[in-house]
Amino acid sequence: MSVIQGEKKKKVGVLLLLSMLGLLILLPFAVTTTFASGEEEAVAEEGDGEPKMGKDVFYKEEGQFGPISSRPAPELVYPDDYGTYGDYQSRTILWIANQQHLYFGSFVLAVPMFVWVMELIGILKYGKDPKEGKKFDDLAHEMMKISLTAYSVTAILGGILIFTFLALYPGFFGYLASIFRPVMHLYALLFILESGVLYVYYYGWDAFNDGNGDWKWTHLGLCTLLNAVGIVLMVMANTWVSFMMSPAGVDEAGHFLGDIWKVMHNPLMVPIVIHRILGNMSFGGGVVAAYAAFRFLSATNQAEKAHYDWMSYIASFMAVMFLIPLPFAGYWLMREIYGYRQQMGITLMGGLLAWVFIMQATMIATLFITVNYYLMQAMGRIPGSERYHGAFKFILAILVISTISWLTPHTLVMTPAELKAMGGAQHPIVGNYGVMSAKNTAINTMITTTVATFLIYQRSNFNLKVPWAWKGNIFLVCLFALAELNILFLGIYGYFIPANVRIGLSVPQVASTLTCLFVGSTINAKMLKGAEPIGEIRWGQMSRRGAYALFMLAVAFTWTMAVMGYLRSSVRLHWHVNEILRDNSPWAFTNPLGYAGNINSLNVLLFWTMLLFVFWLASLYATKSPLAREAEARGEVVAASH
């Protein structure tokens, strides 16, 4: 009787909690409506009759004009509008504060997306195989555990970032706050909602857990809500960044024209959001894989080793799944940047910042080589994979050739004597590889090769049993070979046609790669139906090199994010808000590459130091007390302390 009453109380409690959360969702909207209506009134009261109208810097035709609803962008003066700590560059301090917040923010927003997938798989599998279902559920729970500590760090870093803005860039921050005022509190309130949902979701894990019953689905619903709020938060933060690059919803003097959506929906908002979501997912997967590799290397028994080996595989699979479309999203973003301001695109890819793209190419090539290397090492624990070992050296050769081609610069930094000896800034032979035709060919080749390695990995443990297996094999070989030939053909053809035609070649190149990805993996999955395993996968027996490769992968992700973030931010040159708010501080110049590289490395180092602390905390949490260990040895069930 008391058990039933307890159950009832629990259900009522959960329902109350959920309705409270629902009300919290509505709260920010109510607040925004109040803000928005207040603003309209303020504008109406200002003038005698009609409010003064301003002309939007971006939106044309309908909606081109809007009521002037704020002060103009201020003309900032150094040192009055800037804060300093001695002679140190305030910009660098802000750069570090921003980057650290972004790293942790990306991580804590990406992990719940994986957790959602893992929990769903767990629920779906539970009905057929409870043991397997629980395995995925535990994995989701463990991922969330790492994210929870990181969440506190993110909030602290967010506070540090705000204080840095207020202390060092009060003039700039004041202007940005005047534009985004209608949504700034919405952002803060959503944070409360995010925290509330996160804590209920995490701490309610066991309370909601009835395998795959109603409460488990409710728990998954909480994760959906968590992700929905997380994505909105990320989109909002991204609109500030994209507004600084490509302002809209303001006039030439920087007056806010009364429509916050136009400010948020600026020309680069959507591609930046898409690129960042994909990037976050890859990065999050990489970091979780590194955590699993860390636990794999420090595991003291075989069961633990096997668990973390499996976890590292799942996390790295997620990372790779989002890494593959990432270059295409990046390409789209660049296209939009060219569309918005051609000069901005040229500064990025052909001018001042072009060398940073060479650094980026090196990092992304490292990512792809590392992914392939990890898969090859991971195949060491799969019986049957020996059949494919011979192909590894060819795969690596293709990847290395593509890398060399990709990171060849168009022009070199040289002394006058070297310039004279070479007969120009461009090398007569090597210089040919420094153009987009060659670079696009290289990256598409690398992605196609990675897809091929992955398909090999998937089938390495099986003897195919479908009667049409031989036809499927022929089809896959033809598909990959001809796709690669097409990519090569389009790359070479690009040298013989003018630039405005050449730019069109990249799309069929990408389409060839995507065909391999989607058609190849579908056919491969169909071929694996009813396939016979050659032996049991020896989880826990991956080489240590494979685990180190995962560290390499995660660090390469971190460094790539640092370098590309620097690039995106630097393209504004001497503007805080492009063409609206000028940077009048002494640090309005573009940093030398060496300095930028050093600060990026420092950022990576700082992040990983903090992250190792988070990992250590997570492992500390998992350590059982001596009493619990003894009880477990006796076979008693010990109530979870969390």
Chain residues binding another protein by CB under 8 A are 335, 338-340, 470-471, 474-475, 477-479, 481-483, 485-486, 490, 500-501, 503-508, 511-512, 515
Judged by CB, which is closer to another protein: 166, or 499?
499
Cβ 539 to another protein shortest distance, Å: 36
Cβ 500 to another protein shortest distance, Å: 7
Judged by CB, which is closer to another protein: 212, or 445?
445
HEC string for 335-404:
HHHHHHCHHHHHHHHCCCCHHHHHHHHHHHHHHHHHHHHHHHHHHHHCCCHHHHHHHHHHHHHHHHHHHH
Judged by CB, which is closer to another protein: 486, or 570?
486
Judged by CB, which is closer to another protein: 173, or 489?
489
Judged by CB, which is closer to another protein: 347, or 512?
512
**CA 273 and chain centroid, separation:** 10
Cβ 445 to another protein shortest distance, Å: 15
* In contact, 556 and 299? CB cutoff 8 Å: no
Q: Which residue intervals of 433-504 are DSSP H helices?
A: 436-459, 469-493, 499-502
Across the strands, what pairs with 532? 463
Q: How far apart are CA 375 and CA 313, in angstroms?
A: 9
Judged by CB, which is closer to another protein: 119, or 484?
484
Judged by CB, which is closer to another protein: 8, or 471?
471
Cβ 511 to another protein shortest distance, Å: 5
Cβ 504 to another protein shortest distance, Å: 4
Cβ 442 to another protein shortest distance, Å: 19
For the stretch 513-519, contacts whose Cβ atoms lie closer than 8 Å and that sit 24 or more positions apart, written own/partner, are 513/444, 513/447, 513/448, 513/451, 513/483, 513/487, 514/328, 515/479, 515/483, 516/448, 516/451, 516/452, 516/479, 516/480, 516/483, 517/324, 517/447, 517/451, 519/479
Cβ 468 to another protein shortest distance, Å: 10
Q: At what angle do helices 506-515 and 469-493 cross, to 10 degrees?
A: 170
Q: Note the maximum CA span of the chain.
A: 94
Judged by CB, which is closer to another protein: 30, or 481?
481
User: Tokens representing 349?
Assistant: 């890819």
Cβ 335 to another protein shortest distance, Å: 7
What type of residue is 601?
Answer: S
Question: 3-state DSSP helix/strand/coil percent for the chain, to nearest 5?
Answer: 75, 5, 25
Q: How far apart are CA 469 and CA 487, in angstroms?
A: 27
